Each structure stands twice: as structure tokens, then as C-alpha cells.
Amino acid sequence: MSAFTLISLLLGLLSFFYAYLFAVGSRRGYFWFRSFPRFKWAGMALGTVCLVWSAWHACIMLEGDLQRFHIWIKLLVPVSVILCYFFLDYLNARAQGGFMILAANYLLHAAFVHNVPGRTFYSLVCLSLGVLGLFLVGTPWRLRQLLECSEKNTRWANGLGIAFAICGASLIVQPLLS
């Protein structure tokens, strides 16, 4: 399995999880869906993966005379993980937003390399999830507000559930067709 298929599968599964969370989980009155954006340890695990992935991207960009800063980038990752644990709230929502941004960046490039059928739709799905990731990183409490809104209004719940299900299906099926 290539990295493209694996990352697309992971982002597709995250989209299906959001489809379930909005369409079913918010209406069943689960106690955890309000605290889901604040799950500390899940956010730390995914956030650490995202910070390592970001540091890898940063080291690629530092070429020539700037290669001497590679050690500083690598040393800042564990420091950032510790500081994020103590000073950031809504850590799970922020980490998932970071994963969406990094995955969308990679998948947009890889979709053209692997010649995915229906590239335009696949790119739109990746871009929309990347923009959602930007909102989750910047304003992570919006996830909780959307969950509360979908709990009160079935149109929001069904609409968001269907939209995430379409995104998840596209992310899982289209790379397998290439």
C-alpha cells in the first residue's frame, strides 16, 4: 500500500467518523460528543504525529546554508509537544485540523502524480477538508458549536453527515481506482 493510499484512507476514515458524529452521535445524546474536541490524550497522540510531519516538511524546505537549522527544528518538536499539552485547549480538534491540513497538502500533490480518476472532485474534497482543518486549528470551539447545532437541528445533522460521508467515500474509493 502506497503512502498516498494510506493517507487518503486515514483522512477518509476521519471523514466517516465525522459523518457518524454529526448524523448519529449528536442525536443519540452521547455524553462524550461535547467533550470530544477537548480530548487531551487523543489530541496529544495525533498532534505529535502532525508536529513530526511538519518538522519533516520544514527540514525539506531548509536547503543550502539553512541546513544548520535542521537540529533546531528537530529539537523544537518535543518542546512543542510539551508546551501544547500545558497551554492549548481543544487539543483534539486542533490536532485533527492539523492532520487535515497536512493530509490535504500531500493528497493534492499525490493525486496528480498517481493520476486519480475524477481528479477535480477529489481535489475539491481535499481542499474543502483542508479549509475545514484551517478552521479547526484557528477556531477549534466551532467543532463543539457545530455538534451542538446538529443536536438541535436535524437538517444540520443530516447535511453535515451526508457531506462528510461523500468526502469519506471519495477519499477511500478514488485512490483505489488509480
DSSP calls for the chain? --HHHHHHHHHHHHHHHHHHIIIIITTTT-TTTTTGGG-HHHHHHHHHHHHHHHHHHHHHH--GGGGGGHHHHHHHHHHHHHHHHHH-SSHHHHHHHHHHHHHHHHHHHHHHHTT-TTHHHHHHHHHHHHHHHHHHHH-THHHHHHHHHHHH-HHHHHHHHHHHHHHHHHHHHHHHH-
Q: Percent of the chain beyond pLDDT 70?
A: 96
pTM greater than the 0.95 cutoff: no
Average pLDDT over residues 62-91: 89
Amino acid 148: pLDDT: 84
